[in-house]
Structure 1
């Protein structure tokens, strides 16, 4: 419908409604219904029909319930956006609140309370008071929710007119269970409202946990609807019984709810049972045994989404008492029809319940999943086998299974297996002979994943004695140094070549020289620093270098867990909530002061959470912050080739000896099988320089034995920058730029003591930086972290941006910043601006 036709159609509707407004002719109600249907249809598809407001109100004088409902729907839709028009509805709504038909009274009262216009609050009080005393239960239940709506609009008006007192009286004495449920919900919301933390409110909220209230609700529990039952059960879970007898009485009363068809009722009942028996160890264990059957039934009988939610709660219980669920492991076998997210959770359950008696069956089942067409599930199944092996259950058979995976000749299977074999060798060194015999046949050229390649290189260096061709494989990898894109692989390669040199020096000495030469010239700061460290250690003594690089190792007994026990306890306290599904306490995804700005997971990618706009809040994702809570990607830990304190990036040059042949003048040794010490590299002759012309890092280089170094070019002056006071950058662009740009430099700063008081929360520093033309994209409190951005004042749109990750240790005031820039040459100038802005911050 074009604009002209729409305008004509609305004008025609307006005329017809006005004509029918005062008519009493036969059949006029049917005509009104047809016109109302057209209006509601236009409203539904997004056409603005607010011009018909007065005519719709005039036609509302009818006893037809269908017409009343459509009129209330129309009025409620436009009243909030057109408060001036909403005033026209007051008279007929107040009149309908006193209608003889209780259905019309209830609908009118609900519509009146749903207007949400502050100027009309005075008109709500009278109808609400009458509604709460109405002789019809439907009207009273609507009035109870209306009191809550009034509190949202005008809290003082709700409290002053003693609506909470009236609601509490209805809660205890009303005969209608729906009225009781609505009163309970309204009271809990009113007394839990954010900012309403007065002592009186807290006392009123605690009064709901009195035994008289709890027993009154439980005695009529079966009369409530399923929603109301969940509400009552949530309240009961916070109640502390007077003695064990009262606990058993309450559990006997609620026991049949465990067989309820509604999963929400079952989970809420389980939460009550678990919390009531927390202080009764023997009974608590029996509760676990009692709730197993209902939970397993829900897992197998519901939809995939329901199964996942129930499995998440079951997983939490399994982690707390794995032995109680060990005999039920077959319930966690994956079905062909299960979606990937359910299968992944079931694999975690199988890992958790594995013990001496069921390990063989579980590992056999997991080994079948390794050939799954879903690559993600195949990877997870292999990881699950490795986790079970690390739990010291039937290691012999598990190692054989893992080695068989290497024969499948699938890249992703080989990659996951190599990573797990590395962990197994760290914990069970006695299996090195069998593992290395199989791993030695794996070609490094067929492995592309960085973790797997790093694991293979680690084994080449650690077991160079057992792998005859280890030096030659490492030599090929060193020769292809420039083609290796992953810093973590180059880091591992440096260490492996050094270890191989200590064990088989004649075959590895030239390889080590080449590796150190490549490492010193590497653009990655971590790789460069490690190569420089190894080179200087070898200059001092091969024995010292070996003690540092390849010291005697003990078997690893414990690997780091995913979550602390405190976090798990907090999640358990929030049983039957999204905290269990997200595996995080609610404050971590609800409280903006604690919410992490960035989360990263290898499977789900990156996401931004920002507390500064609804658009940024919509970017909140599945929160799994176990790997790296505030980093956009795992490789950004090592992509910085920068210098602290705001100075320019510095690439330590290779000495002339290293450029030619790092270990050419190796002295002879009486024992050719022992490591030999490389000759001291001679520094080329240099002209004396004044201290003012030297780089700030020259003193460090001199202490480490390289001698003075003269910069080949004078240090450029840092340009003065003019920043845009109102830069515009949306979260999606920030995320994209952060992932694409590398760290230009880092900056360290320590706040003065008098500024520490202002660092207890993010907001003061955010406001201060905004006044210095540096805007905040996201911030977090655990620890104090910020993501800032700024833009050059003369930059073209979407260019000239600077991105900053700032981490502040609140106890000491020490701050560390990573700076990324569209133009890396401008980063030092921005670093000066950032340091200057931080220095002006005060509490």
Structure 2
């Protein structure tokens, strides 16, 4: 039987995928370049579409650059646009090719069609090639004087582009003066607006260099220019109106009559359909009346209706932006919006971020007259199937209670939440009950009667469990089962991963011991023994503090741990008044949406910690040092870093195991011997044939000695290259290409966690096992590392993403290898090296 005939199937002509197809396109474009036959423009369009399609999906079609330029000699504006798009894409990366476009772009800048003149001028200014700036001056000068307004509009922004490419060329050509003349005399409003924006940016940057530019910048805020812009205000587009309003908000009127004239002129802008114009007008009104208290309050009353209309008339994104500004105003003057609280009720179809903001506003406007209605509405939300919404509504009820509005009814509502038997409702309510008891101790009897019926086994969330434990310790005399509940929690100490819960448990047991010593004696001994051996530094230190206080004097310890308390009058605000005023000054900006001043999210030193990405492919690596000594130290802190940078200078700190710096005094006031201090030290190791000293408090509480740590497992057999080297780009490329061979969770030695004050400690340790770090970062409790290693016998590379959680002593590993057959052996070697961290 004859084999089937082979057919050569080429890709679709609309989607070229190789050099052959690009060559065909090049040949077809060259044939059409000089053709004037009918239908040539239609054929060019199809070819241009294919070229643009290839360019869009990432195929390199720069080889057809000259043919595209030759085919652009046409009056078809569609072909011109596609050609300009192609040229703008490749000219930025190929300055030599950009030179080929100058002649035809300059020729098009003189075309009879103003649309082509404008498009050509915009493309010419968008090349952004420093060596070609001399070719921009002539067309820009002609464009600023063009008879068509579209060309002048493009030219004004072209001047700004030229300034960013070459400041000296722009200033030598005296373009700012030309823009100023156009701004004051051009009949087209859009040209005036573009001139204003360009001059603001140019003179703003030049003001730091020369006094003349600073003076010119001040002329933008002169009374004649402000009045000129306001008199032409209705001619501007919505975008231009916002720009003018932003400029006018910086102007300082000479007297109150001038303020009223400006406000009367712009009164109708509050009814505008565009939310940006309304917010810009509101900002201007608020800025103008800051020094006039009565008028300022009237402005609040006047702007309330437009803002509420914008909230209900737009989509969820607009509603959130407007609500953010309303929230800022409500925080400054809640009494003005208190009667409109129903506008802030949540709708079923609103996204959660809008609902959450509305709950914050309901909390802010609550007062004596509307608290009952607001709390009733919030209680309905607490039964919502949407768990985040239910949590936020319960928090809102608690915040209102802390504002001293109708506390009796609110406390009853909160206690009813505890009877709903929903885990998330119970958890949030326990946290709020704790805060309420701190402020209203008189409600302890009613609250404890309900809280006492809650089983600690049904509370799993750390904050809720910590709140329940706090109440068990604080009101141990009123809760009959408090010592036994605490004892059961201590028995499960090793299973409790939250350091916050363990800290509260220590304090609660000590408080309970002072109130009910016989029942709590055993629990206290177990808690102190577990706390002293805890790997978390804060838990260890607190347990050691309580132990030494009890050694010294029990009555003094009681005064320290459980002193007489006064009710908390005011809970601390998360934001200072200075920050709130700063946000108000930046009204109608992202500062209001983020609820923080602009410098906190624009200045690098105020940015938050780096959020680790799941995939390294979206990030770029820092440069690795040549000697492979802690390469992560040389990663610069910029937006392209793989991880947070670490300090170039590692702080040398002593081990926290050294407890000889302090000796606990005994009951008689004398200092205890060093051997007695070793009893509660983390690094205590029993010495053969030497009897251990004990205290009376040890016998009383039944404290035992910490068990010696088990030795690490033996190292698996796999030889690694001690001088392995890998470039950051190669690491990144391999990480993208290789699949994940092993993904698993393992543990790290608590003693190692205790000494890991910074990422460098683990980096040095792993480097001693021929496993090198190419990048690291993070802050406690989460540290992240990218390690690499190479096999000694053959060029096989191992890549590891290692995320360490110091609070739980857990490590998440993702391993990628060239040779899959050795992945398990390397995984065992890596975990073995990790397990030895803290022993060496």
Normalised by the size of structure 1, how large is the TM-score?
Answer: 0.77
Partner deviation per Cα, 1:383-422 (whole Å, 9 max, x = no partner): 1100110011100000000000001000110011011001
Q: Which residue of 2 aligns with 1:229?
A: 241
- Residue of structure 2 in register with 1:13 after alignment: 25
Matched, 1:73 2:57: no
Instruction: Report the Cα offset of residue 599 of structure 1.
Output: 7.4
Find out whether 1:172 has 2:184 as its counterpart. yes
Could you say if the C-alpha distance between residues 583 and 746 of structure 1 is closer, same or farther in structure 2, counting changes exceeding 3 Å? farther
The residue aligned with 1:744 is 753
Q: Which secondary structure state, in structure 2, belongs to the residue aligned with residue 408 of structure 1?
A: coil
Per the alignment, residue 27 of structure 1 pairs with 39
Q: Which residue of structure 1 lines up, in the alignment, with residue 256 of structure 2?
A: 244
Specify the SS of the correspondent of 1:593.
Answer: helix
Residue-by-residue CA offset, 1:162-198 (whole Å, 9 max, x unaligned): 1111111111111110111111111122233499554
Q: Are the counterparts in 2 of residues 498 and 549 from structure 1 also a CA contact under 8 Å?
A: yes
Q: Which of 443, 447, 453 lines up with 2:459 in the alignment?
A: 447
Counterparts of 1:440 and 1:180, CA distance in 2: 72
The 8 Å contact of residues 533 and 706 in structure 2, kept in 1 or not, is answered as: no
Q: How does 1:564-643 map to 2 (within 5 A)?
A: 564-598=576-610, 612-616=637-641
Identify the residue that residue 308 of structure 1 maps to in structure 2. 320
Give the distance between the partners of 2:227 and 2:242, measured in 1 at CA: 16
Preserved CA contact (<8 Å) 1:233 1:268: yes
The alignment partner of 1:417 has SS state of: helix
Q: Distance in 1 between matches of 2:461 and 2:84?
A: 62
Which of these residues, 428, 441, 449, is aligned with residue 440 of structure 2? 428
Which residue, 477, 495, 503 being the options, matches 1:483? 495
User: Is 1:119 the counterpart of 2:127 in the alignment?
Assistant: no
Matches of 1:53 and 1:358, distance apart in 2: 71
| Contact 1:738/1:803 (8 A) holds in 2 | no
Indicate the SS of the match to 2:118. Answer: helix
Task: Find the partner of 1:563 among 552, 575, 579.
Answer: 575
Q: How many Å separate the matches in 1 of 2:31 and 2:397?
A: 78
Say if 1:789 and 1:804, in contact at 8 Å, map to a contact too.
Answer: no
Structure-2 change in CA distance of 1:594 and 1:457 (3 Å): closer
Q: CA deviation at 1:308?
A: 0.7
Change (3 A) 1:686 1:591: closer
Cα gap change, 1:685 to 1:148, in 2 (>3 Å): closer
Instruction: Tell me the alpha carbon deviations over residues 228-265 of structure 1, each in whole angstroms, 9 at most, x when there is no partner.
Output: 11111111111111111111111111111111111111
Structure-2 separation of matches of 1:738 and 1:239 = 61
Instruction: Give the equivalent residue in structure 2 for 1:211.
Output: 223
How far apart in 1 are the matches of 2:519 and 2:347?
Answer: 53
Alpha-carbon distance between aligned partners in 1 of 2:136 and 2:44, rounded to the nearest angstrom: 29
Q: After TM superposition, give the deviation of residue 564 of structure 1 in Å.
A: 1.2
1:20 Cα deviation from its structure 2 partner? 2.6
Query: Helix, strand or coil for the counterpart of 2:106?
Result: helix
Matching residue of 1:342: 354
- Per the alignment, residue 645 of structure 1 pairs with 653
2:510 to 498, 513, 517: 498
Deviation at 1:108, TM superposition (A): 1.2
740 and 196 in structure 1: CA distance in 2 versus 1, 3 angstrom threshold: farther
The worse-fitting range, judged by mean Cα deviation, of 367-376 and 4-13 is 4-13
Where structure 1 has 5 or more consecutive residues not aligned to the other structure, the ranges are 601-606, 621-629, 632-642, 656-661, 663-676, 696-700, 717-721, 750-772, 781-785, 806-820, 830-843
**C-alpha distance in 2 between matches for 1:414 and 1:388:** 18
**Is contact 2:48–2:79 with CA below 8 Å preserved after alignment?**
yes
Does the 8 Å CA contact 2:656/2:755 hold for their aligned counterparts? no
Within 5 A, what are the aligned runs for 1:264-279?
A: 264-279=276-291
Q: Determine the C-alpha separation between the residues in 2 that align with 1:196 and 1:119.
A: 26
Q: Is the 8 A contact 1:727 1:790 kept in 2?
A: no
Task: Give the aligned partner of residue 769 of structure 2.
Answer: none
2:164 aligned partner = 152
The residue that corresponds to 1:529 in the other structure is 541
Residues 784, 801 of structure 2: 8 Å contact kept = no
Distance 2:272 2:747 in 1: 52
Asked whether 1:332 is paired with 2:344, we answer yes
CA root-mean-square deviation: 4.5
**Whole-angstrom distance in 2 between the partners of 1:495 and 1:5:** 69
Say which of 386, 401, 412 aligns to 1:374.
Answer: 386
Paired with 1:799 and 1:13, the residues of 2 have a C-alpha distance of 45
Q: CA deviation at 1:568?
A: 1.3
- Distance in 2 separating the partners of 1:471 and 1:54: 87
Residues in 1 aligned to 2:311 and 2:320: alpha-carbon distance in whole angstroms: 8
Change (3 A) 1:608 1:307: farther
In 1: Cα distance, 2:503 partner to 2:835 partner: 25
Aligned pair in 2 of structure 1 residues 727, 377: CA closer, same or farther (>3 Å)?
farther
Q: CA deviation at 1:597?
A: 3.0
Is 1:545 aligned to residue 557 of structure 2?
yes
Report the Cα distance in structure 2 between the residues aligned to 1:703 and 1:135, rounded to whole angstroms.
99
Check 1:409–1:727 CA distance in 2 against 1; reply closer, same or farther (3 A cut): farther
CA distance in 2, matches of 1:452, 1:365: 24
Unaligned segments of structure 2, at least 5 residues: 1-9, 613-618, 622-634, 686-692, 699-704, 713-721, 737-742, 759-771, 792-796, 807-831
CA offsets, 1:43-96, max 9 Å, x none? 333333222221221122222222222222222222112221211111111111
Contact 2:344/2:361 (8 A) holds in 1: yes
Give the direction of change, closer, same or farther, for the CA distance of 1:726–1:552 in structure 2 (3 Å limit): farther
Distance 1:463 1:263, change over 3 A: same
How many Å separate the matches in 2 of 1:710 and 1:437? 39
Contact in 1 for aligned 2:786/2:799 (Cα 8 Å): no
Q: 1:488 & 1:195 partners in 2: Cα distance? A: 53
Judged with a 3 Å threshold, the aligned counterparts in structure 2 of structure 1 residues 116 and 727 are, in CA distance, closer, same or farther, namely closer
Task: Provide the C-alpha distance between the structure 2 equivalents of 1:444 and 1:804, rounded to a whole number of angstroms.
Answer: 26
Which residue in the other structure is 1:835 paired with? none
The 2-side partners of 1:161 and 1:65 are apart by 31
Equivalent position SS for 2:604: coil
Q: Say whether residues 1:290 and 2:302 are aligned partners.
A: yes
User: Per the alignment, do residues 704 and 471 of structure 1 end up closer, same or farther by CA in structure 2, a change over 3 Å counting?
Assistant: closer
Q: Which residue of 2 aligns with 1:604?
A: none
CA distance in 1 between partners of 2:173 and 2:585 (Å): 36
| Pair 221,300 (structure 1): closer, same or farther in 2 beyond 3 Å | same
The SS at the match of 1:453 is: helix
Question: Which deviates the most, 562-571 or 323-332?
Answer: 562-571
What is the rounded CA distance, in whole Å, between the counterparts of 2:161 and 2:154 in structure 1? 10
> Per the alignment, do residues 128 and 287 of structure 1 end up closer, same or farther by CA in structure 2, a change over 3 Å counting?
same
Report if aligned partners of 2:456, 2:465 keep a CA contact under 8 Å in 1. yes
Shift of 1:521: 2.8
Is 2:112 the partner of 1:100? yes
Shift in Å, 1:38: 3.1
417 and 779 in structure 1: CA distance in 2 versus 1, 3 angstrom threshold: closer
The change in CA–CA distance for 1:492 and 1:263 in structure 2 (over 3 A counts) is same
- Give the superposition deviation at 1:324: 0.9
Give, in whole Å, the separation in 1 of the partners of 2:405 and 2:17: 77
- Whether contact under 8 Å (1:588, 1:594) holds in the other structure is yes
Q: State how far apart, in whole Å, the 2-side matches of 1:725 and 1:704 are.
A: 59
Give the structure 2 partner of residue 518 of structure 1.
530
| CA contact 1:799–1:822 (8 Å) conserved in 2 | no
